[in-house]
Structure 1
């Protein structure tokens, strides 16, 4: 059986990806703070399983317990392939350096950087132990390559994920795993609502994001998930690369 692990599966891109992979006959293991009943319905409609692990990924103990629970579940199954989509993330703090809230910075780095690394390490270890192929997708952002006032922490975290993806891919060599980062562009999600609510003093470019919403230029999470699914199944993948939605959205 093919199992897909998705962090932050209760809403946004995580929810859309879970639906898309369920519809394609995969079994989903979702990790988030809240349960999404719609995903259970989609799973039943497609005769596959949906297992949800309630977890605050900014809490170290909860994260470790969740990884152990995932291991216990998977080792009882006939695993033919594993997919890990490191999707959970946050944009706060949106603030200039010198005015950053330290506890928020700590939570941000934990969720956006440490958790994807820990999950990748754990699931890659299982894939190697069980000799099954792994598809690892780290959700990144164009912010990793830009200098945007107010986004020092977010940009730094996504840049770290890009480099982590590249190094992990290089280490794996020809083991048969697929390891990429995926940049979904500007999506119509709750994170974008947080961005638009920022003050101009904290985030100089806030008006640009408000205009994107007003002009209907935000991409739906369903569309972003569809492009990712087609990209992985139809493109010759170069491991370690950052794949950007806008390079493929017209193709798929």
Structure 2
């Protein structure tokens, strides 16, 4: 069976991706702090496997235990291929440097940078050991390439993920894996709600994001997940590159 591991699967893009992959018959392994009953129903309706692991990925011990549990589950299954979507993330702290809350920075770097690296490392090791192809999708952001006041931590983290993706892809040349980053643009998610609630003192561009919502210019997570799935199905992926939603949304 083809299995896809999705972090942050309880809502937003993670939830939509889980449903989209189930529609294609893949078994889904979700890792998030909360359980989404609608995913269980989708799995039942589609007669596919769905396993959820409740985990606070900012907690090192919980993360390690969850990785071990996922490993134990997969080694009992007939795994034909693995897909990992490193989707879980946070935008906080939205604040000017000099006023950053240190514990918030630590949690942010843990979730947005360390966890994708650790999960990629773990699953690549298993894929190479089991000789099964891995598709690794690291969710990134256009913020990685822009200077946005108030987003120093978020932008730095996504830039780090882009570089990690490129290096990993180069190291894995010839192993039959697909490794790339995907920038989903501005989606209508709870993260956007957090962004719109920021003060102008902390985030100079907050009004632009409020206008996007008011004008209905946010992309739905379902649409983004559909484009990502079709991108993988129809495009010849260049490993290590960043693929952007807006380059393909009109095509698919």
Please indicate the TM-score interval, normalised by the length of the shorter structure.
over 0.9
Residue 28 (structure 1) aligned with residue 43 (structure 2): no
Residue 193 (structure 1) aligned with residue 193 (structure 2): yes
Residue 103 (structure 1) aligned with residue 107 (structure 2): no
Give me the whole-angstrom Cα distance separating, in 1, the residues matched to 2:48 and 2:246: 31
Query: 1:120-159 alignment to 2 at 5 Å?
Result: 120-159=120-159
Structure 2 unaligned runs (5+)? none
Q: 4+ runs of 1 displaced by more than 3 Å?
A: none
Match of 2:215 in 1: 215
Match of 2:235 in 1: 235
When the two chains are superposed, the root-mean-square deviation of aligned CA atoms in Å is 0.3
Match of 1:4 in 2: 4
Give me the whole-angstrom Cα distance separating, in 2, the residues matched to 1:158 and 1:152: 10
Match of 2:14 in 1: 14
Residue 80 (structure 1) aligned with residue 80 (structure 2): yes
Cα deviation, residue 174, structure 1: 1.3
Cα deviation, residue 100, structure 1: 0.1
Give the match's secondary structure for 2:137. strand
Cα deviation, residue 125, structure 1: 0.4
Give me the whole-angstrom Cα distance separating, in 1, the residues matched to 2:3 and 2:208: 39
Give me the whole-angstrom Cα distance separating, in 2, the residues matched to 1:84 and 1:191: 21
Give me the whole-angstrom Cα distance separating, in 2, the residues matched to 1:165 and 1:205: 28
Give me the whole-angstrom Cα distance separating, in 2, the residues matched to 1:175 and 1:125: 12
Residue 247 (structure 1) aligned with residue 244 (structure 2): no
Cα deviation, residue 239, structure 1: 0.2
Q: Deviations over 1:97-150 (max 9, x none)?
A: 000000000000000000000000000000000000000000000000000000
Q: Deviations over 1:219-252 (max 9, x none)?
A: 0000000000000010011000000000000000
Give me the whole-angstrom Cα distance separating, in 2, the residues matched to 1:151 and 1:37: 33
Give me the whole-angstrom Cα distance separating, in 2, the residues matched to 1:233 and 1:128: 22
Give the match's secondary structure for 2:51. strand
Cα deviation, residue 167, structure 1: 0.2
Give me the whole-angstrom Cα distance separating, in 2, the residues matched to 1:188 and 1:164: 27
Give me the whole-angstrom Cα distance separating, in 1, the residues matched to 2:40 and 2:26: 13
With normalisation by structure 1, the TM-score equals: 1.00
Give me the whole-angstrom Cα distance separating, in 1, the residues matched to 2:23 and 2:154: 32
Structure 1 unaligned runs (5+)? none
Q: Deviations over 1:194-228 (max 9, x none)?
A: 00000000000000000000000000000000000
Give me the whole-angstrom Cα distance separating, in 2, the residues matched to 1:4 and 1:236: 20
Residue 183 (structure 1) aligned with residue 183 (structure 2): yes
